[in-house]
């Protein structure tokens, strides 16, 4: 974090400063900020966030013992550390992020890129960060730090020397992206797609459009909107960008895109395509599996080239990326039995993309096996969307459909109703039962997709299978 005095910290979060140890209001703090006391070190700021399971205030003393310079609290705590008392620590965290990024902008040449979309945010963030990190100091979220806590924690990692801040914005309801992105007013807004992910929280696809368009609405006037030309709902955000005086850089696979992919080919070792941008066409050999990740790469290239990075440099750096993120199309196992663990997140769109990738990378004499769990946060649309996945798996010719968990059972029922009989489709209530079955069922030449939302827990089943068949 950039250096601030305790008095400046308290002022930024509208808090009451209670000094501890030998501190004065002019004591300077420049350490990291975190809500996890186990990650606190000397000079850091501990945010005592109340939670559903425990309360961060219980760990203030531990953070102090680890060397914390100050704690953000909602009530004073008996601990040998300076404390700033605020009404709500999550609100205070956001206020502090706004102040720190504002000061970093004033101190240097900071460019802020915001990314949102129903799918692909984390992969696109990682790809763009890989391109930019060799251009200058780049701050990007760890894992999927994209919510009301994770996004500000990422913002607070900027320093006066940070050249690029890449922020990922997720949301579980209307207004959340506007609040988070409004803290930093991105110079570049990337919108990947508008799909059914979290539709239950938003209230339908049109409400999801409104929520995702919030990023464009709060990004810097006169900035840049990087929009998916292939998604009609994203394309419909163009008038919003125009109202804010933002230029538009389109990405997609259609002829009208500014950054375009042609000749996409998916294999078990990666995905290749021809990328055209700014009058040049070059081949990209992406190690990440799946045609859908080409779109994420296009978005990253569109933003990076707008920031002045040559296309050839973008491609060179993207080709060094071996894995988008753990549990996202992660290859495990061996050439004998290949496990693709993609069970960190799932939506109807990402489920369909993963199933199509499984079908595409499976060669003659090999067998497709899909281990599928529930998609969360779909609300009233959950039943029909799980039905659609079961139907798609059958139509793609997936040879073994293994459905895990009662919340996903409609996938199994739909697959059976569509003709997957004689153990072609099978259901297990628990991951342990599925694991035992798969240990005896999988054979040489199998290509296995493990796909579910995080809450279903199948990512750990994927890890176990990967280890067993390594």
Each residue of 18-29: pLDDT tens digit? Answer: 999 899 999 999
Which of 299, 2, 296 shows the shortest CA–CA distance to 137? 2
Same domain, 310 and 343: no
Among 273, 345, 294, 352, smallest CA distance to 122 is for 345
Cα angle for residues 161, 163, 164 (degrees, 5° grid): 135
Q: Is residue 41 part of a domain?
A: yes
DSSP state of 144: T
Give CA angle at 192 (404, 250), nearest 5°. 150
Same domain (yes/no): 298, 372? no
Q: What distance lies between CA 90 and its chain's CA centroid? A: 20
Q: Which residues are annotated as a binding site?
A: 117-123
How many whole angstroms separate alpha carbon 150 and alpha carbon 191? Answer: 19
Paired sense of beta strands 446-451 and 367-372, if any: parallel
CATH code of 391's domain: 3.90.190.20
Report yes or no on 96 lying in a domain.
Answer: no
Q: Do 307 and 337 lie in a common domain?
A: no
318, 339, 374 — which closes off a domain? Answer: 318
For 228-266, write each residue's pLDDT tens digit: 999 999 999 999 999 999 999 999 999 899 999 999 998
Q: Where are the alpha helices (DSSP H) in 115-264?
A: 121-132, 150-155, 176-181, 199-202, 205-218, 232-235, 238-243
- Are 314 and 335 found together in one domain? no
Query: What's the DSSP call for residue 241?
Result: H
Indicate the DSSP class of residue 133. T
- φ, ψ of residue 300 to 5 degrees: the values are -65, -40
CA nearest to 329, candidates 304, 376, 294: 294
Q: Which of 226, 221, 216 is nearest to 244 (CA)?
A: 221
**Of 298, 318, 338, which residue sits at a domain end?**
318
Does residue 42 lie in a domain region?
yes
Residues of the chain with pLDDT below 70 are: 143-144, 196-203
Per the DSSP assignment, residues forming a β-bridge with 234 are none
Q: Give kind and range of the element (H or E) at residue 386.
A: helix 382-395
CATH of the domain at 278: 3.40.1190.10
Residue 244 and residue 175 in one domain: yes
Q: Is 102 inside a domain boundary?
A: no
Q: How many CA atoms lie within 13 A of 335 on its CB side?
A: 1
CA distance linking residue 191 with residue 196, whole number of Å = 15
User: What SS3 state is found at 132?
Assistant: helix
With contact defined as beta carbons under 8 Å apart, do 165 and 113 qualify? Answer: yes
Tally of structural domains, the chain: 3
Q: Are residues 350 and 449 in the same domain?
A: yes
Q: How many CB atoms lie within 10 A of CB 394?
A: 19
The dihedral built from the CA positions of residue 416, 418, 421 and 426, taken in this order, carries a sign that is: negative
Q: Are residues 165 and 262 in the same domain?
A: yes
**Residues 246 and 361 grouped into a single domain:** no
Task: List the domain range (segments joined by +) for residue 58.
Answer: 4-91
CA 470 to CA 468: how far, in whole Å?
6
Binding residues for ATP: 117-123
Q: Which of 65, 91, 117 is the last residue of a domain?
A: 91
Residue with tokens 């705590």: 77
Same domain, 313 and 398: no
The Cα–Cα gap between 13 and 85 comes to: 9
In this structure, are 153 and 75 located in the same domain? no
The pLDDT assigned to 42 comes to 95
Are residues 234 and 286 located together in one domain of the fold? yes
In this structure, the number of other CB atoms found within 10 A of the CB of residue 336 comes to 12
Dihedral sign of CA atoms 62, 64, 69, 70 in order: positive
CATH number of the CATH domain containing 53: 3.40.1390.10
What pTM value is reported for the model?
A: 0.85
Q: How far apart are CA 186 and CA 114, in angstroms?
A: 6
Model confidence over 306-346: pLDDT tens digits?
999 999 999 999 999 987 777 778 889 998 999 999 998 88
């Amino acid at each position: 974090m950039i250096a601030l005095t305790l008095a400046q910290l308290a002022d930024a979060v509208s808090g009451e400063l209670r000094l501890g140890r030998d501190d004065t209001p002019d004591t300077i703090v420049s350490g990291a900020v975190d809500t996890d006391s186990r990650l606190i070190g000397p000079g850091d700021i501990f945010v005592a966030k109340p939670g559903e399971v425990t309360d961060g205030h219980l760990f203030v003393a531990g953070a102090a013992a680890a060397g914390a310079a100050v704690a953000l609290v909602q009530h004073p705590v008996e601990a040998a550390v300076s404390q700033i008392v605020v009404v709500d620590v999550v609100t205070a965290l956001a206020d502090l992020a706004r102040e720190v990024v504002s000061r970093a902008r004033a101190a240097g040449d900071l460019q802020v890129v915001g990314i949102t979309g129903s799918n692909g945010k984390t992969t696109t963030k990682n790809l763009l960060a890989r391109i930019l990190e060799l251009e200058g100091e780049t701050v990007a979220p760890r894992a999927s730090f994209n919510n009301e806590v994770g996004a500000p924690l990422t913002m607070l990692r900027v320093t006066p020397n940070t050249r690029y801040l890449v922020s990922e914005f997720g949301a579980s309801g209307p207004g959340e992206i506007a609040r988070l992105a409004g803290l930093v007013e991105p110079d570049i807004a990337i919108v990947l797609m508008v799909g059914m992910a979290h539709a239950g929280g938003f209230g339908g696809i049109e409400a999801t459009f409104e929520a995702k368009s919030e990023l464009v609405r709060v990004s810097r006037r006169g900035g840049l909107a990087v929009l998916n030309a292939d998604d009609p709902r994203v394309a419909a955000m163009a008038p919003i960008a125009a109202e804010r005086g933002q230029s538009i850089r389109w990405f997609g696979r259609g002829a009208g895109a500014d950054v375009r992919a042609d000749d996409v080919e998916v294999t078990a070792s990666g995905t290749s395509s021809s990328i055209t941008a700014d009058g040049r066409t070059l081949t990209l050999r992406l190690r990440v599996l799946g045609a859908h990740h080409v779109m994420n790469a296009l978005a990253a290239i569109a933003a990076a080239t707008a920031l002045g990075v040559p296309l050839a440099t973008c491609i060179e750096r993207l080709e060094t990326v071996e894995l988008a993120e753990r549990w996202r199309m992660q290859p495990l196992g061996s050439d004998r039995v290949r496990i693709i663990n993609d069970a960190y997140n799932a939506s109807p769109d990402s489920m369909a993309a993963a199933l199509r990738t499984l079908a595409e990378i499976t060669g003659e004499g090999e067998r497709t096996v899909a281990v599928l769990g529930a998609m969360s946060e779909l609300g009233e649309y959950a039943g029909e969307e799980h039905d659609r996945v079961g139907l798609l798996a059958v139509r793609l010719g997936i040879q073994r459909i293994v459905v895990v968990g009662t919340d996903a059972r409609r996938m199994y029922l739909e697959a059976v109703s569509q003709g997957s009989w004689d153990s072609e489709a099978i259901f297990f209530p628990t991951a342990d039962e599925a694991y035992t079955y798969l240990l005896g069922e999988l054979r040489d030449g199998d290509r296995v997709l493990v796909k579910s939302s995080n809450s279903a827990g199948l990512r750990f089943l994927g890890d176990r299978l990967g280890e067993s068949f390594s």
